[in-house]
Structure 1
Amino acid sequence: MIEGILHYPPGKFGHKNLPLFILIHGGPSDATAAEGWLVLEPDYRGSTGDGDQFLNDISGQLLSRPRSDIRAGVDSLVNDGIADSTRLDIGGYSFGGALTDWLITQTTCFNGALSRAGAVQQIFMWGTTDLPAFGIPLMCGLPWDVPEIYEKESIMNNLNTAKTPTLIGTGTNDIRVSADQSYMLERGLTYLGVSVKLLVFLDEGHTHSNNPWHGKMKAREELKSLAKYAHLPPLKTEDLV
């Protein structure tokens, strides 16, 4: 059974037909819920907390396997009338960013996407990350051993089906997921004619924790984009700083 955490907007517990934001690893969930969003944090296969088998179930299917878990959570909320199928946004950070990017190549059901520090090319990820050994068992080997898996699980090879407006965020000093990954995604979506905006934070690493103002800017732009994508009333600037 796949589980998840569901955050209701203040005063809206039990309400139906709410706009839904699927948050795949990242945050802040409370800020998004405070702006009127129902927020789902799915515990997809590959996550921690449910044992080794659950964690390792994505071996060789790094992005394609969790996709079905996340979609199952969304479909359940829509079918139960809790979430409004016409107001769905998705987003995530790091692995969640990569899963977000993967999902927008698989479906057009989302109004918009927030992608932060997601890897879109797996061989490039292995060659540039500060944790190259971490992904080897998840990919079932090194790039030259199983090139077909690295290619199959690379978003850039499927990007031509993406149509979802996307806000991308990255830091220039990210040694976990190189900023070049975000640059590739932005270029690809631009060539495809997909609405895209790229936020680049100077001197920030993977966690964007060097400058508190950058965190405020990121949250502000993300909340504004979520509202825009789902055709919700625009947020007041003073509420975002």
Structure 2
Amino acid sequence: MATVAWRVRSGTRATVVYGLPGAGKTTIVAQAARELIGEIKYGVALTLEGYRAEDDSGSVALQLNGFLAGFGRELDLAVLEQSPRATLLRRLAVELRGLGVLVLIDGLHRAAPDTRRDLLEALDGVEGVRVLAASDEAPTARLPAEGVHVPELTPNEYREFARTLAVELGLEIDLDDLFDRLPDEIRSSPRSLAITSATSGIARLNCCRPTRLRCTSGRARDDRP
């Protein structure tokens, strides 16, 4: 987290925190943003959650324009609808100049590649603007961004994580058998591992749950406790 905050403070390029789903990227970005409170006046959070790739440039533009409306710097809707994507994002970035803004982007990987490039290029080097993003993918050489990798869990770390999780949830599962059957991309991701472990435990409990049949009005009824 300290490394991420330091990069945001010292650089003009976007900082992209990347790693496997569930590795804690969004948490790191949020913590770094809190650490920067007091050094940067404003923050605007952009999210691409739920947007299709063909719609993402419009959604980002609307979110930025909504933020600018609070300062009386928003663009006319006709401009939003008629301007080419790259031109529109550059115009919005110009309006951010001098405000002292931290632009937070969650799910940068969900944007179409051209939109990622146009957005980060538009914000790159703008006075008073810093960019911090979370992504499942490392930034490519085409992007004006510096990457910070969130490493996967080591074998010992993910076994300890799963044991702790099993105890906390009261799950009775064979962890060694579970790990032998899991692919690396799940074993090394805390979120995926938590979901898989919990699901395995619930499935086992359901399979072992006793079923009592009793007859009522001539019909057999399945009563589960």
Provide the TM-score with structure 1 as the length reference. Answer: 0.30
TM-score (norm 2): 0.31
* Bigger helix fraction: 2
Computing the radius of gyration from Cα coordinates, the structure with the larger value is 2
Q: Which has the higher contact order (CA 8 A, sep 6+)?
A: 2
